Every structure is written in structure tokens, then in C-alpha cells.
Amino acid sequence: MIQAGDKLPSVPVKLVDANGVSDADSAGILGQGRVVLFGVPGAFTPTCDTSHLPGFIGAADRIKAGGVNRIVCATVNDHHVVKAWAERSDALGKIDFIADAHGRLAEALGLAKNFGDLGRRYARFAMIARDGVVQQVFVQDVAGVTVSGAPAILLALQGEVVA
């Protein structure tokens, strides 16, 4: 699993943002400035849709005020699904999305997890990176959204310990 001090991997992905959908590289998306990346098991899935993503949408301005240049959500879904989820959630313009349809970035980060019928997806996590190097990683070990949610990231940006 990726850890603080590690360089983020370079993997081909689809970027879904306010400009639409484009072919991209994870290092290009995550490698400049201070970035908050959070991963969810799936677009439209219950906790991801009602708690994890909405928390980051609601806190986007405060997170960016904490010195973050970009907030990115990664999920193992195709770009059509991710675009529909981003639009329905009114997230575009606040949050960019990585559509990692084959889970290659999830695997490269060491953050892929088997979810039975859903297959291998992202473990629920959040991280803070600067210029492509991980500063902090928060992996959700229990159900729900605690250490990987927007409130925990806000605390981390303020320099408080997140347990």
C-alpha cells in the first residue's frame, strides 16, 4: 500500500471534470500542487453517494482554503457512469474525477479491495499529496466514512492528528 513519502504512480485513466471527459495520466492529474485524492468503491453506491462524495462537495471551499489546489475522487467505474454521477451530484467545478474502469490505479496504489459481487474496487480512502508525493494516507478500515471523509481531511490540513 502506498505510504507517506511515496511518489504517486503514473497510470492511464479517464479524467472527468467541468470540461468533460478526457484521456489522462494519473501523475498528470495528481502531480501538481497540493491535491486531496479520495477513493470510493463505486459511483452511486449507498455510502459513496450519500456520505463520502457529498461530504467533500460540501467542504470543497474550506479544503481549498486550506491550501489544496485540487480535490479528486477516484472510482473503479467507466467514464460514462462517473460523468453521470458527477453531474447528478452537482460536483463538477468543485471536484474532479478519475474513472479507473479497470482498477489499474487502484492496484498501483495498493488500495484495491475485493467487494464480492462488485469485484475489485478501491478501498475507501483519502490522501493528501504535494507535487505527486504522498504526504498522508487515511484508509477506512471499518464501515462508514470517518478517517477518509472530508472532516478528517480538514483536520489533517490544520495539522491535527486523525486517528
Q: Active-site residue numbers? A: 48
What is the C-alpha separation between 52 and 1, in angstroms, rounded? 21
% of the chain with per-residue pLDDT over 70:
97
What is the phi/psi pair of residue 5, to 5°?
Answer: 95, -15
What's the mean pLDDT when you consider all of the chain?
A: 93
Q: For position 120, what pLDDT does the model report?
A: 86
Region 133-154: mean pLDDT is 91
pTM, two decimal places: 0.94
List the single range of 59-73, 82-96, 111-125 with lowest mean pLDDT: 111-125
- Round to whole Å and give the CA distance between 91 and 71: 11
Would you say residue 152 has pLDDT above 80? Answer: yes
Residues in the chain: 163
Strand stretches in 76-132, DSSP E: 96-99, 112-114, 120-122, 125-130
**pLDDT at site 109:** 97
Q: Is the pLDDT confidence value at 36 over 50? A: yes
Concatenate the DSSP letters of all residues of 70-82 into one string: EEEEEESS-HHHH
The answer to whether residue 66 scores a pLDDT higher than 90 is yes
Helix, strand or coil, per DSSP, at residue 102: coil
pLDDT of residue 146: 86
Dihedrals phi, psi of 27, to nearest 5 degrees: -65, -35
Domain 12-157 is in which class? Answer: alpha beta
Sheet holding 12-17, edge to edge: 20-25, 12-17, 96-99, 70-75, 34-40, 125-130, 133-139
- Kindly indicate the confidence band of residue 163, based on its pLDDT and cuts at 50, 70 and 90: very low
Cell 468533460 belongs to residue: 20
